[in-house]
Amino acid sequence: MKQTRIEKDVVVIGGGLAGFAAAVSAARHGAQTILIQDRPVLGGNASSEIRVTPHGAGLHHNYATETGLMAEAAAAERSRCHIEPMENAWTNSQWDLALYDICKRTPNLTLQMNTSLTDVILEDGTRGSTLDPEDSKVSQDAGYMERSAINPSRRISRIECSVANAETQITVVGKQYIDCTGDGLCAHLAGCSWRWGSEASDEFDEIHAPSRPDALTMGSSIQFYCHDAGKPVPYEAPPWAKKLNDPDFFYGGTGRIPYTPRGGFWWIEIGVPYNTIFDNEPIREELTEWTLGIWDWMKNKDEKMREKCANYVLDWVGQVPGKRESRRIMGKYFINENELKLDRAFEDEIAYGGWFIDLHTPGGLLAENAEPGAATGYDSHNIEAAKGHVGPYGIPLGILQSRDIDNLGMAGRDVSATKAALGSIRVMQTCGLLGQAIGTAAAVALREGRDLTDLSTGQVREVQDHLRRDGVFLPNVNREAEGDLVPDATLSASSEALLATTSVELEPSKQCDGRPFEQPSDLAQCIPVAGPRLDAIRLCLSSSREGPIEVPVVLRHVKSIWHYDQVDGEVLAEGTLTVEPGQAQWVRWDLGMELPETLHDGGYVRLELMMTAPGELWWERVSRPALACPAYYLLPCADPNKRGERYRRIFNEGMESYGFAVEPAMPVFRAENVRRSANRPYRDAGMWRSDPAEPLPQYLECRWSEPKTLRQIELQFGGDLSNELCRNAPLSRDREVVADYEILLETKDGWEVVDSVRANCQHHRFHQLAEPAETSAVRIRVTGTNGSESASISNLRIFSELGDYPDPWGM
Ligand SMILES: Cc1cc2nc3c(=O)[nH]c(=O)nc-3n(C[C@H](O)[C@H](O)[C@H](O)COP(=O)(O)OP(=O)(O)OC[C@H]3O[C@@H](n4cnc5c(N)ncnc54)[C@H](O)[C@@H]3O)c2cc1C
């Protein structure tokens, strides 16, 4: 065997989305970094070898789509890939390549593919593989499986890796290590403490914890993908495929419905009685038998699918099981489900989540049903589905910092969380945010000569500032970045859009698509407001009843667009509207009210419509996105005082707004918004938008009373974060992102263009000036968008110093 040695500052092990993001962000912030990935492609479960859709908070919460590195990868992939978004199996190698491309564009980053971590050596010379070779220290005394810390030293000195097909072993020496292996192998070998299985409900009083602890896990899956061959294609299953003949196995309320002939079913899953780590091979073998058996059922036997599948042919069957659950490494903090539900503001918040508490039934295909929520089709009135909704909630750095090894962090599904909390945190866009956070933390630690588990409060704030400057949204961190010159400037624009109706360009009568749809519950529409008065709101309503319907309405002050609670939130007005028979009529609610002072600079109110006549009454939906106006269903609280029952809502289904109009028109898209903290609609509309009636070019101007020396200008284009970016159409760009623009500085001779960009599709861009420039004003002049009629920018930050790295998309 050839022996080699590599020395780096930061060593990231595992190239899933967590590891990818950790490595790129550590390297961007100046750490010499190596990413060690045991397979030939990046992306882990999201790679084209496994093809799980990277989800996150954005599927369940309007405008909660992940930005930062996750948006960077999604924008790059969507603009190049011809594959339509679909649930699992949509991924092709364009996604792997988008991740690879970002890594290759990153200075300081070495990619070491096809390379497996095999051993960890601690600073006292102990080899991890000798610490607990028989797993004899693993105990099930607590009910779940756990291992207490057995590390004789608190630091890792080096790791050993083996390169597949190269007869090579590498010793990798680092200063900081980040375990993104999913299974927590690096931490395990380093002797760290971990848990496996479920806590009992009495340990943290979690709704989703069972009454007795157990050592069960969710299973692993393989995906398959089919395409339409344009003519009937027969399928004959091999003799070793499972023989499935019982329709009840699929349609008997088990949550295993074959919903498309294209394949990609998350429920082809097997775990218990197998061990998801040690039995990976038997699991793969058995999953392959099941997959072909399921395809045989759909193609040849299923009354509901046979015809639909006639022209479909198997294209690809995964052979790398995607793992959902195994070890959870104990960190400096151990987060539980209730902290997700309570929307706790952690001092060391570095990411957020918002997927539901998604816990599958252990056993998968071998169990009675796949998942309680899925077994009822995620029916929003089903208690299992309703109780699972959480977020968006903040995530603390402490769950990424090892409790037992000082120079070790983790990101991904191996973080320090109860099983129930992990049910939400484990989705991949969230894992990617965690990776970006711990990679940034490692770089900051290195610069300060500390370990990544030993950051001071000030250094954690530095990590938060970097993350926000890198485009990441942190719900509870809203201070200005150190050195940002924009807070001292006056902001103005060539024009500013007003919010008058949900559609800014159409006549009211044309705004409604007129199609009735099932509105089973009370409806809520968040409306951004600004200014002293709200005189009236009009709602676009339809009624099929012969006589008038009386509909109660409530106007509530909400602290953010994700304030779903129906108990808190000051009621500003209550009333009753009379809806006459007819379609798409504008019903007026005269309010003539002064808005609370806290809303004068911008904020949100929520208009609640009580569905007194479901089936006969509906609120028209706007058929094209209306920015910053999220809508959702309000489902009744069974008991508002009971934890987990304060609000209910369902998936946002891509719907954005109900038809409404406000009087007077609201100046919610002011230039002033770009210095506010959030990079999206959240506590206010969160962006500058130019008046859509005014043609491009349009500009945003930032002016100081005294000249300033500038070196770096950072822009966040809000984009349309109302749905997940990976669901955008193939070969598409976010229409709300600015495509063409120039940066101009005011000089004594007038405006001088110092940089210009064409055909941008990225949400986050920044510009480094070759030399420091002295000026009293900067303009961002937008000459083209990717489809929107308005120019829009959600954040502008300007600094006198260069940032840590050049714009990767400017190279
Ligand atoms: C079928 C299925 C459906 C799911 N559904 C969704 C969904 O719809 N959306 C969603 O977002 N999430 C979903 N999840 C969950 C999600 O995929 C995982 O929680 C997530 O991938 C965890 O991210 P990670 O980076 O920690 O791990 P992974 O994605 O597993 O990445 C770990 C990486 O580490 C590498 N690695 C492991 N061991 C070593 C080693 N010794 N040396 C070097 N490299 C190593 C692996 O090859 C892998 O690339 C699903 C999971 C499965 C299996």
Query: How many CA atoms lie within 13 Å of 575's alpha carbon, on the beta-carbon side?
Result: 17
Residue nearest ligand 1's atom 23 by CA: 412
| CA–CA gap between residue 337 and residue 205 (Å, rounded) | 9
Of 45, 52, 90, 178, best ligand 1 pocket probe by most atoms within 8 Å of the beta carbon: 45
Structure confidence by residue, pLDDT tens digits, 321-339? 999 999 999 999 999 999 9
Is the pLDDT at 643 greater than 80, yes or no? no
Residue type, 224: F
Q: Is residue 271 part of a domain?
A: yes
Distance from Cα 20 to the centre of ligand 1, integer Å: 12
pLDDT-derived band at 632, boundaries 50, 70, 90:
confident
364 DSSP 8-state letter: G
For the chain, give the percent of residues with pLDDT over 90: 77
The predicted pLDDT at position 585 comes to: 87
Q: Are residues 462 and 542 in the same domain?
A: no
Burial degree of 134 (CB within 10 A; 0-12, 13-18, 19+)? exposed
CATH value at residue 96? 3.50.50.60
Q: What is the 3-state secondary structure (H, E, C) of 369-389?
A: CCCHHHHCCCCCCCHHHHHCC
Q: Which of 277, 112, 279, 124 is nearest to 191 (CA)?
A: 124
Nearest in space to 674 (alpha carbons), one of 716, 644, 632, 646:
716
Same domain membership, residue 96 and residue 38: yes
CA-based nearest residue to 754, from 787, 804, 712 = 712
DSSP-derived secondary structure letter, 491: E
Q: Kindly state whether residues 348 and 310 are assigned to the same domain.
A: no
| Ligand 1 neighbour 364 (Cβ under 6 A) | no
Which residue's CA is the closest to the ligand 1 atom numbered 48? 44
> Is the CB of 280 inside a 6 Å radius of any atom of ligand 1?
no
Residue 180 or residue 727, greater confidence: 180
Question: At which of 608, 636, 666 does a domain end?
Answer: 666
For the chain, the C-alpha Rg in angstroms (whole number) is 27
- Euclidean distance between CA atoms 129 and 15, whole angstroms: 22
Nearest one of 693, 713, 707 to 775, comparing CA atoms: 707
Beta bridge partners of 692: none
Q: What is the pLDDT of residue 375?
A: 66
Instruction: Express each pLDDT in 220-242 by its tens digit.
Output: 999 999 999 999 999 999 999 99
Burial status of residue 663 (CB atoms within 10 A of its CB: 0-12, 13-18, 19 or more)? middle
What residue owns the CA closest to ligand 1's atom 14?
427
763 and 732 share one domain: yes
Band (pLDDT 50/70/90 cuts) for residue 725 is: confident
The whole-angstrom separation of Cα 238 and Cα 224 is: 16
The ligand 1 atom nearest the CA atom of 325: 19
The pLDDT tens digits for 17-28 are 999 999 999 999
The residue contributing the CA closest to ligand 1 atom 21 is 45
* Ligand 1 contacts CB of residue 370 (under 6 A): no
CATH of the domain at 490: 2.60.120.260
Helix (H) or strand (E) holding 766: strand 764-785
Q: How many CB atoms lie within 10 A of CB 94?
A: 19
Centroid of ligand 1 to alpha carbon of 41 (angstroms)? 13
Q: Do residue 659 and residue 569 come from a single domain?
A: yes
Q: Which long-range contacts (CB under 8 A, 24 or more apart) does 236-240 make?
A: 237/292, 237/293, 237/295, 237/296, 237/300, 238/292, 240/289
| Cα 474 from Cα 326, distance rounded (Å) | 28
Q: What is the 732 CA–ligand 1 centroid distance (Å)?
A: 26
Find all residues with CB under 8 Å of 645, minimum gap 6, and list them.
387, 637, 638, 639
Tell me what pLDDT residue 621 has. 78
Same domain, 176 and 229: no
Q: How far is the CA of 37 from the centre of ligand 1 (A)?
A: 12
Do 346 and 447 belong to one domain? yes
Write down the pLDDT at residue 658. Answer: 86
How many angstroms separate the CA atoms of 485 and 800, rounded? 8
- What's the rounded Cα separation, in Å, for the pair 558 and 560? 6
362 within a domain of the structure (yes/no): no
- Residue minimizing CA distance to atom 5 of ligand 1: 52
Report the separation in Å between the CA atom of 430 and the middle of ligand 1, taken as the mean of its atom positions.
12
Contacts of 124 (CB under 8 A, 6+ apart): 152, 153
**Structural domain contains residue 807:** no
Is there a single domain that holds both residue 6 and residue 141? yes
Express each pLDDT in 460-506 by its tens digit. 999 999 999 999 999 999 988 999 999 999 999 999 999 998 864 44
pLDDT at 635 over 70: no
Average pLDDT over residues 43-71: 94
Q: Is residue 61 a part of any domain in this protein?
A: no
Query: pLDDT tens-digit profile of 512-560?
Result: 444 445 566 788 899 999 999 999 999 988 888 999 999 999 999 999 9
Q: Is there a cis peptide before residue 532, judged by omega within 30 degrees of 0?
A: no
Place of tokens 């929003």: 380
Question: Does residue 424 fall inside a structural domain?
Answer: yes
Average pLDDT, the chain: 91
Do 532 and 514 lie in one domain? The reply is yes
Q: Range of 524's domain? A: 499-666
Helix (H) or strand (E) run with residue 799 in it: strand 795-799
Residue 466 is predicted with a pLDDT of 97
pLDDT at residue 309 tops 70: yes
Residue 380: pLDDT band with limits 50, 70, 90: low
In a domain, 104, yes or no: yes
Q: How far is ligand 1, taken at its centre, from the CA of residue 70, in Å?
A: 15
- Tell me whether residue 368 is in a domain: no
Q: Token pair 């898209």 is at which residue?
A: 669
Domain boundary residue, one of 263, 292, 317: 317
Ligand 1 site-directed mutation target among 117, 428, 430, most atoms within 8 Å of CB: 428
Ligand 1 binding pocket includes 360 (Cβ within 6 Å): no
pLDDT at 389 over 60: yes
Q: Whose CA is nearest to atom 24 of ligand 1?
A: 412
Query: What pLDDT does residue 510 have?
Result: 43
Spacing, Cα 725 to ligand 1 middle (Å): 20
Whether residue 188 has its Cβ less than 6 Å from ligand 1: no
Clarify whether residues 224 and 333 are in a common domain: no
Give the nearest ligand 1 atom to 161 CA: 42
Going from the C-alpha of 12 to that of each of 408, 411, 506, the distances in angstroms are 10, 10, 51
Question: Which atom of ligand 1 is least distant from the CA of 321?
Answer: 53
- Long-range pairs of 136-144 with CB within 8 A, sequence gap ≥ 24: 140/215, 142/213, 143/197, 143/200, 143/212, 143/213, 143/214, 143/215, 144/195, 144/196, 144/197, 144/198, 144/199, 144/213, 144/214, 144/215, 144/419
DSSP code for 298: I
- Could you list the beta-strand ranges (E) of 124-223: 138-139, 145-147, 156-163, 168-173, 176-179, 194-196, 220-221
- Residue 106 confidence (pLDDT) above 70: yes
Strand partners, 36: 13, 112
Quote the number of domains for the chain: 4
Same domain for 429 and 559, yes or no, is no
The beta-strand segments (E) located in 84-193 are 109-112, 115-122, 138-139, 145-147, 156-163, 168-173, 176-179
Domain membership flag for residue 406: yes
Q: Where are the beta strands (DSSP E) in 444-595?
A: 490-493, 499-501, 522-529, 533-543, 549-558, 571-579, 582-594
Among 20, 59, 129, 181, which is best to mutate for testing ligand 1, by the most ligand atoms less than 8 A from CB? 181
Helix, strand or coil for residue 136?
coil
User: Residue 14: CB within 6 Å of ligand 1?
Assistant: yes
Per-residue pLDDT for 639 more than 90? Answer: no
651 shares a domain with 520: yes
405-422 pLDDT tens trace: 999 999 999 999 999 999
Cα distance between residue 475 and residue 480, in whole Å? 14
Measured CA to CA, the distance from residue 476 to residue 601 in angstroms comes to 19
Residue 16, ligand 1, Cβ within 6 A: yes
Check residue 85 and report its DSSP letter: P
**Does residue 509 register a pLDDT over 50?**
no
Lowest mean pLDDT, pick from 374-383, 398-407, 640-649: 640-649
Instruction: Give the Å distances, CA to CA, from 516 to 510, 544, 615, 625.
Output: 15, 9, 9, 18
